[in-house]
Structure 1
Amino acid sequence: MPASSWQPSELQRERIAYRRSRARLSTLIAATSSILLAGLLAFGIGATPGWPRVRETFFNLDRGWEALPVVAEGLWLNIRVMLVCAVLIVIFGLTLAVLRTLRGPIFFPLRFFAAAYTDVFRGLPLLLVIFLLGFGIPALQLKGMPNQAVVLGGAALVLTYSSYVAEVFRAGIESIHPSQRAAARSLGLSYPQTMRFVVLPQAVRRVLPPLLNDFVSLQKDSGLIAVLGVVDAIRAAQLETAEDFNFTPYVVAGLLFVAMTIPLTRLTDWVARRQGWYGAGGGLV
């Protein structure tokens, strides 16, 4: 029988109709419960004595529209810092992961360096690393050393996040069964060729969801370079707030960061579902 002439049975059509009705009912219940919860929260917050003052100070629409161009210009600096740092973090983190997986006693110094590096920078708070580099490097007065705050802040992001990304890559590399390496070596591939063509493609594919999660965090933490005086989104919001002590620019900056982070978050969830990281009951939220 041609496939084009196939028709579902009566029982199958009933099942499809039942599933669709259940999906519509679930959507209706979810929407109703969400609206009720939002209404209760809005009523509860609006009934507090200080809400009029908070609304004027944090949610002033006119002040928000006025500050939006300045904060958005600062956000463009955050985006550029994040993109450049992301590339450097992947390269440096992958190098550290490969160094930690080298075999043989001759590579012990490299393994020790990679392990010590990841231990130190995973233990140091990112803000402290930014302070140490942002204020310590210029104090050394080294010739040829860049002293721009944005460069030093980006370097702190790269140093810190490389330690986390290195461990993500290392987990992926060590998850590849040793027989894969043995088979590649038996076919005449060298160690670098085995890592490049056999191990790393599989390892990167396995760790893509947690890797994207690290980049979601990087998007947010790029705002920490503001402590060095860089006029990014947060610093721009701070300068706008200092004019009249209205904190709406901070809310605008937060909304812009959320709008920048959500697409990558949804991409991470989509990749994780495709790779089976989430169970069958997982949803979009």
Structure 2
Amino acid sequence: MSAPGTEVFGDARGGLLPAPSEVELGRRSYRRSRQRRSTWVALLSTLVFSTLLVVGTVSAPGWPRTQQSFLDPDVARRAFPLVLEGLWLNLRVLVVAAVCVLALGLAVALLRTVRGPVWAPVRFVMALYTDVFRGMPLIVLLYIIGFGVPGLRLQGVPTDKVVLGTTAIVLVYSAYVSEVFRAGIESVHPSQRAAARALGLTHRQTTRLVVLPQAVRNVTPPLLNDLVALQKDVGLISVLGAIDAVRQAQIVSANTGNFTPYIVAALLFVLLAVPTARLADWATARARRRQQAGSVL
């Protein structure tokens, strides 16, 4: 039973929370009005900036020549099906690379956070791995693995350019993702571990049932941002000769003497990245709302 004159409402978990006060309701109304105002101002400024940009570009002396070289509709129509076919290869590489990056990145993060002096060599090797592959440009590693591994002529080692390119991408991105996971693991308060151990859970059970769920929830937004970056970097496998969207655009451009196929490829990659970018924004906003959920006074 609530006290007389006190209202309560249910939260998402079925519990009861005190109703927001008049002050809090006023704050929420003020934030909504400011948000609406900011939206209109952003829309107006975007329209003005876009108009100025278009007018400035079209009025440039070299615009007719640039339009013919980069925005030829006939070349775009001929290039679109070929570039789209190459994009299917990029999508397959993206799916495989994303799964491998998450698995390897999490494994490296767990090995870097394992405790005990006996694990010091493992922690050192994992730290060395992250330092090396985070510091090495992806395109350089693509050349090293793509042309160096086949040169070794090792039995049983794949020499397919797509496989080697995907391997290079996984090695580089796993180093970045491992640091994201490690930051998430270390962001979990030590009291969570202590409470789990007090309940009788082992170290492995504590990590799997208590620490990792909270860590993954904390780092979901940056992981989605890494996925956006991965979506465009899979196009770099074209430097090894893989016939993906970028290579198809290069072939059509060489045959037609026109750069419009590159614009087609760029637009397809942008359309591929936009949903993930919006998902990352939604996850970030959701995490911020969860942190502010307790502010109801």
Gaps of at least 5 residues in structure 1 are 4-11, 281-285
- Which residue does the alignment assign to 1:6? none
Give the counterpart of 1:70 among 75, 78, 82.
82
Q: Distance in 2 between the 1:148 and 1:79 partners?
A: 17
Matched residue type, 1:169: F
- CA separation of 1:101 and 1:28: change in aligned 2, threshold 3 A: closer
Deviation string 1:104-142 (CA, Å, 9 cap, x unpaired) is 101111111110100110111111111110001100000
CA distance in structure 2 between the partners assigned to 1:248 and 1:148 by the alignment: 29
State the AA in 1 paired with 2:197: R
Aligned pair count reads 271
**Distance apart, 1:42 and its partner CA:** 1.6
Query: AA paired with 2:171?
Result: L
Identify which range, 198-207 or 62-71, moves more after superposition. 62-71
- 8 A contact 1:272–1:278 mirrored in 2: no
Match of 2:270 in 1: 258
1:79 alignment partner in structure 2: 91
**Does residue 194 of structure 2 align to residue 182 of structure 1?**
yes
**Residue 126, structure 1, aligned to residue 138, structure 2:** yes
> Aligned residue for 1:42?
54
- Checking the alignment, whether the CA contact within 8 Å between 1:241 and 1:249 is kept in structure 2 is yes
Q: 2:208 aligns with which of 181, 193, 196?
A: 196
Question: 2:155 — aligned with what?
Answer: 143
How has the CA–CA distance of structure 1 residues 113 and 239 changed in structure 2, closer, same or farther, with 3 Å as cutoff? same
| TM-superposed deviation, 1:20 | 7.2
In structure 1, what is the equivalent of residue 282 of structure 2? 270
Q: Which residue of 1 aligns with 2:105?
A: 93
Tell me which residue corresponds to 2:218: 206
| Cα drift, residue 213 of structure 1 | 0.6
Tell whether the 8 Å contact from 1:233 to 1:253 is kept in structure 2 after alignment. Answer: yes
Q: 1:250-283 CA distances to partner (integer Å, 9 max, x unpaired)?
A: 0000000000001000000000000018999xxx
SS in 2 for 1:276: helix
Question: Residue type matched to 2:140 in 1?
Answer: L
Q: CA RMSD in A?
A: 2.8
**Residues 82-120 of structure 1: per-residue CA shift (max 9 Å, x gap):** 110100010100000000111110111111111010011
Query: CA deviation digits over 1:173-201, x for unaligned, max 9?
Result: 01111121122122221111111100000
TM-score by length of 2: 0.84
TM-score, normalised by the number of residues in structure 1: 0.88
Any stretches of 5+ residues in structure 2 without a counterpart? 9-24, 293-297
**Correspondent of 2:122 among 110, 133, 144:** 110
Tell me how far apart the structure 2 counterparts of residues 206 and 35 of structure 1 sit (CA, whole Å).
36
Shift of 1:37: 2.4
Q: 1:136 to 1:250 in 2, by over 3 A?
A: same
Distance change >3 Å, CA 148–CA 21, structure 1 → 2 = closer
Mapped to 2, the partners of 1:208 and 1:259 lie a distance apart of: 22
Corresponding residue number in structure 2 for 1:61: 73
Alignment correspondent of 1:9: none
Could you tell me which residue of structure 1 aligns to residue 233 of structure 2? 221
Q: Separation in 2 of the partners of 1:93 and 1:30?
A: 38
Aligned to 1:8: none
Alignment of 1:241 onto 2:253: yes
Q: Structure 1 residues 31, 187: closer, same or farther in 2, change over 3 A?
A: closer
Q: Residue 15 of structure 2 aligns with which residue? A: none
- Given that 1:137 and 1:147 are in contact with CA atoms closer than 8 Å, whether structure 2 keeps it comes out as yes
Distance 1:190 1:140, change over 3 A: same
Contact kept, 8 Å, 1:126 with 1:156, in 2: the verdict is yes
2:119 aligned partner, one-letter code: F
Task: Specify the SS of the correspondent of 1:207.
Answer: helix
Equivalent AA in structure 2 for residue 250 of structure 1:
Y
